[in-house]
Amino acid sequence: MADVDRLLEEADKQLNQFEYEDAYEKFSDLLEEDLEDEKLVARAHFGKAEAALGINEVEIEDILDDYEKAIELDDNPFYRQAAAGFCIDIGKFEQAEKHYRKAAELDPDNEQHYLSDLAVGYRYKAPIMMEEYVEQAGEDIILRKSLNYMLEALDIDKEKAKELLG
């Protein structure tokens, strides 16, 4: 177990120092070990996904796979928020919403934080990812959906927002 702890510490250090390829390799090596602790396996999958973000050659689906495996083994808001942010970046908005909402459920004290991340991420990434669709339908649909997320984050309904803005 000491070797595993040392390998994990080295991988985390490399990730924090932006040495993505070395960190990715170490997290991958960790996953080849016979680890019995599911949280440790989850941490290795999560670290591998995070390191992969800095490596162009890693396929998007592989990164998403590692996030999902980490969440499956240790469902926590930190992993969910990271996976959601990645989903926003790659245009998987429904999956991002699922992760942000689950993070909010797991961490209700910070629900508004997760929902506002969703609102802002959707507002600025959706027009880029759905460029052709936006040209056809206009940006209002995206703005409306983003605004609804933000109202939810602020815990006010449309009528109250109109009253406040009126």
Task: For 93-150, write each residue's pLDDT tens digit.
Answer: 999 999 999 999 999 999 999 999 999 999 999 888 777 665 656 678 888 889 999 9
Q: How confident is the model at residue 25 (pLDDT cuts 50, 70, 90)?
A: very high
Q: Which sequence spans correspond to the domains of the chain? A: 1-74, 76-166
pLDDT at 140: 80
CA distance 136 to 151: 26
* Tens-place pLDDT, residues 38-90: 999 999 999 999 999 999 999 999 999 999 999 999 999 999 999 999 999 99
Instruction: Could you please state the CATH topology (level 3) that the domain comprising 1-74 is classified under.
Output: 1.25.40
Q: Which of 14-18, 147-151, 160-164 has the highest mean pLDDT?
A: 14-18
- Quick one: three-class SS letters along the chain? CHHHHHHHHHHHHHHHCCCHHHHHHHHHHHHHCCCCCHHHHHHHHHHHHHHHCCCCCCCHHHHHHHHHHHHHHCCCHHHHHHHHHHHHHHCCHHHHHHHHHHHHHHCHHHHHHHHHHHHHHHHHHHHHHCHHHHHHHCCHHHHHHHHHHHHHHHCCCHHHHHHHHC
Phi, psi for residue 55 in degrees, rounded to 5:
-125, 115
